[in-house]
Amino acid sequence: MNITVSTHKLSGYRATLRTAKQLATPAVKLVNRTVTGRMPDVQITLTNPRGMAELATLAEVELAGGGVDKRVAQREERHAAREGRSVFGRAVPLADGSVLVLINVDRVESPGEFAITLVHELVHAMQFSRKGVRERIIRDRRHCFNIERQSRRQSREQERCHDEEEREAYSREYLADHIVPGARAA
């Protein structure tokens, strides 16, 4: 498993990047030990809400197999940008089997918040490696991009599984206290 940490469309965040690099390896090791699944290669990118929307949409178009109508992709990017203002982070599976973890630096104000966000998103990265999860996500993305319709049953299953995965990720945020003592107290 390889871990890379970088920035996208940010300048002047050298200290934040340094902190991210210091916290990434212990966070990956901790989540890998405590969560069921196999940790894929992880690309951690620090960015702003607009950059999150851009990178996530590009990754999802590639995951869906390409051939997406430009207007549909732009609509999804606008939706992601609106949602991205209030989101701390986002994990997106990539077509090559790795995971892109996007961190919104406008929302993450301390190393403790960064550790909590990182642990949460790394739990999602572990979930992507489980049987059937990646295929379900690809099917949902293909539906969102109007490539291939999914049935109502599949749509309800996606929503139910997504809610379960979110609950699991929130329940593991306590692990951030092992990386940055007192992270959840802040």
Per-residue confidence (pLDDT) for residue 67, from 0 to 100: 81
Cβ-based neighbour number of residue 157 at 10 Å: 15
pLDDT at 48 over 80: yes
Q: What is the mean pLDDT of residues 75-90?
A: 90
Residue 154: which of 140, 135, 133 has the closest Cα? 140
Q: Locate the DSSP E strands across 34-123.
A: 42-47, 89-93, 99-104
| Banded model confidence at residue 186, pLDDT cuts 50, 70, 90 | low
Whole-structure pTM value: 0.94
- Report the first-to-last Cα separation within the chain, whole angstroms: 31
* Of 167, 49, 40, the residue nearest 108 (C-alpha): 49
What does the pLDDT average to over 48-70? 92
Q: pLDDT digits over 145-179, tens only?
A: 989 999 999 999 999 999 999 999 999 999 999 99
Task: Calculate mean pLDDT across residues 50-79.
Answer: 91
Q: How many Å is the maximal CA-CA distance in the chain? A: 47
